[in-house]
Amino acid sequence: MSRELNSTPERVRPRGWLRHYVGLLTPAGVVAGQAALERNRAQRVGRVVAGAKEGLAQRRRATRPRMRALIASPGGKLGWVSVPSPPPPGPLEAIVRPIAVATCDMDPVIASGASPFPLPLHMGHECVAEVLAVGTDVAGVRPGERVVVPFQISCGTCPACACGRTSNCTGLPPISMYGFGLAGGLWGGALADELAVPFADAMLVSLPDSIDPAAAASVADNVVDAYRHIAPHLQSLRAGDRDPSVLVLGALKENSPFSASMPIYTALIATALGAGRVTIVEARRFARAHAERLGLHAIAPEELDDERAPLVVDVSASRGGLDLAVRHTADDGVCSCGGGLHRTARIPFLLAYGHNVTISISRVHARALIPEVLELMSAGRLRPEQVTSTLAPIDEAPTVLREHYLAGAVKTILTA
């Protein structure tokens, strides 16, 4: 087992029950709740009611086999809990066993209770898994196969899915995801003995034999999220005979509560796809050091001069990140923002207008992009495992993740 922890003071202060639930009533929490209920409300409420009824039935008498799942509760509590195992798969479904689970950069904020996602919840939404069982109509995967499980739930047949917009599947309520509890639709989490996949053929992507599951665990979310900031825009720059240099904004403050993998993944992918000068702006010294060990150029925010790049990626997850990113985007350039948990952000509108800056603020369509990233890995051009700072057994998840969340690390991978 290898571990690399940041030695700076705690950057995430867990919120107790009262502070956590009061925080859900802030404007950001209200907006998140509204987004989750914009459409398909009856479907989402039905899942919640069904889950509550099942919980009551399980307390009265055991109706299904049980398994362990990692639960985060207010106050920074993190531990294995016995929960019902998924039922046998329906015609379109599959049951999988996570064998490599990655942390997401947002996980420390979720587990600490500082996000708009109500606790307690099942943790984990980035994984490679082994297929245990499939439904009668599943043709794309078989038991024993290793697969990447996208963190977003998608049906594969609605108009949005047919166009590759799998994060906005219209067959399900908005933002349906693993590992986000009630806000994500109660689909469970990847840090569990088993995980139910409702649309196996639409969602699961076979992992090539040449790729180690631990290397691909974060392809379910963070790696493809980094990829979508680079690949389409770099192609456009080359088509216009532009200088393909890239500026990546990571944390702008040293005490950022988010993990540090996204800016490094983004810079690695930009380099793999042939970008020119790639610069990471990152306030955290341990993250800069990790990037530099990989041959990447990383500077502190105070070292950022008047440089402007045709492609600027804001993965700072901070309120001021988008403003800074736009100011450093070159004429006719693209500013791609990975978003965050703040309700509003400033945009230097007139400056962006004057420089013809295209601003993209969006979520990743994970399922649609996973095959492209796996192809890049199979060709040996991208090695996400270089970003991993901690590798440990899943059995040690409560201890290892607590250290990751509180002390800060780049990327933790837990393996079976």
Res 117: pLDDT? 94
**Residues 302-319, mean pLDDT to the nearest whole number:** 95
Report, as an integer, the average pLDDT of 273-282.
95
In this prediction, residue 38 carries a pLDDT of 80
Q: What is the mean pLDDT of residues 209-226?
A: 98
Highest averaged pLDDT of the listed ranges 1-5, 49-53, 205-209, 274-278: 205-209
The pLDDT assigned to 57 comes to: 65
Range with lowest mean pLDDT among 50-59, 170-179, 263-272? 50-59
pLDDT tops 60 at residue 1: no
Q: Stretch 329-344: mean pLDDT, rounded?
A: 94
The answer, yes or no, to whether residue 330 has pLDDT greater than 70, is: yes
pLDDT, position 2: 43
48-65 tens-digit pLDDT: 777 767 666 666 566 779
**Residue 5: its pLDDT value, please?**
40
Question: CB of 114 within 8 A of CB of 73?
Answer: no
- d(CA 67, CA 304) in angstroms, rounded, equals 50
pLDDT tens string 127-158: 999 999 999 999 999 999 999 999 999 999 99
Domains of the chain: 17-218+385-415 (3.90.180.10), 222-361 (3.40.50.720)
List Cβ neighbours of 250 (8 Å cut-off, separation of 6 or more). Answer: 260, 262, 263, 264, 280, 281, 282, 283, 284, 287, 315, 316
Longest dimension (CA), the chain: 68
- Tell me how far apart the alpha carbons of residues 195 and 183 are, in angstroms, rounded to a whole number: 18
Provide the β-strand partners of residue 414.
101, 392
> Angle at Cα 249 formed by Cα 282 and Cα 124, nearest 5°?
85
Average pLDDT score, the chain? 92
Residue 7 has pLDDT above 50, yes or no: no
